[in-house]
Amino acid sequence: MGGDKKMDEDDKWITQHFEELVDKYGGKYVAVVSEQVVAVGDSPKEVDEKARQLYPDKLPSVLLVPKEEDLTCILQSLRT
């Protein structure tokens, strides 16, 4: 149960640092554990495995970070 609370904190951290993640890791998968990026790669499986090796007792939050140009296209399509 405690893992859910920690995951919520990681999700909040991702939201708060989203622009920074896009700038640094756009187009890559990242794994976040304890409010820090712990693995970066080209597939969700790859970063999940790396994160679980580093933090076997934690559940990583894995996401595909969009590229800045992808976000621009999405925002433009929402405006039309």
pLDDT of 6 above 80: no
Tens digits of residue pLDDT in 9-56: 999 999 999 999 999 999 999 999 999 999 999 999 999 999 999 999
Distance CA 62, CA 33 (A): 9
Angstrom CA distances, 74 to 16, 20, 26, stand at: 20, 18, 15
Helix (H) or strand (E) holding 32: strand 29-33
What is the pTM (predicted TM-score) of this model?
Answer: 0.82
- pLDDT of res. 2: 44
What's the mean pLDDT in 61-78?
82
Report which of residues 69 and 14 the model is more confident about: 14
